[in-house]
Amino acid sequence: MSKKAEKVIVSSCLLGRPTRYDGGHSKNDDLISKLAGKVVIAVCPEELGGLGTPRPAAEIKGSGDGGSIIGNTDGASVLDGKARVMNVNSKDTTESFIKGAEETLRIARENLATRAYLKEKSPSCGVTVIKKGNKDCEGSGVTTALLRLNNIETIGIS
């Protein structure tokens, strides 16, 4: 009996697709090599949420910290309604980030994927690190938080 190939979710930018906020990519050849033999399902949660590319950079800001860029708010806080995702033009993009996370989860479930390789430092995909201003802060993005809540393993890739 042949074993079916594992299906995995992967941030599109890590595969070299120009889906980053600045229109660039974060191609990771080491990851691409490790994905050999797997069924790769490329996603960009921010595009799935309706945000175009390029788009203004965004970050998670908490209401409890006065909206400052410092604080322990992350994707889980956004899902709990305790934080918002704001772009550099002060536009609230929270709903787009949540929609993109929900679409990513739908795609993972539809494809029976139980693992996701996601781009660190992203307000959507960061697994252990997200950007706040010019600082790297401990925390996860909105999509990562939702995937974790649904028992999908998340692996951060720089």
**81 within domain boundaries:** yes
AA letter at 139: G
User: What was the pLDDT predicted at 65?
Assistant: 47
**42 within domain boundaries:** yes
User: What was the pLDDT predicted at 10?
Assistant: 98
**139 within domain boundaries:** yes
pLDDT 10s digit of each residue in the chain, 158 long? 457 899 999 999 999 999 999 999 999 999 999 999 999 999 999 999 999 999 999 999 986 544 444 456 899 999 999 999 999 999 999 999 999 999 999 999 999 999 999 999 999 999 999 998 889 999 999 999 999 999 999 999 99
Domain of 27, in residue numbers:
7-157
User: What was the pLDDT predicted at 62?
Assistant: 85
Q: Are 103 and 91 in contact (CB under 8 A)?
A: no
**107 within domain boundaries:** yes
User: What was the pLDDT predicted at 26?
Assistant: 97
User: Based on the structure, what is the number of domains in the chain?
Assistant: 1
**44 within domain boundaries:** yes
> Read out DSSP for 14-44?
GGT-S-STTS-----HHHHHHTTTSEEEEE-
**151 within domain boundaries:** yes
**1 within domain boundaries:** no
User: What was the pLDDT predicted at 73?
Assistant: 85
Question: Hunting for tokens 């910290």 — which residue is that?
Answer: 65
Q: How many CB atoms lie within 10 A of CB 39?
A: 13
Residues 6+ apart with CB under 8 A from 36: none
**2 within domain boundaries:** no
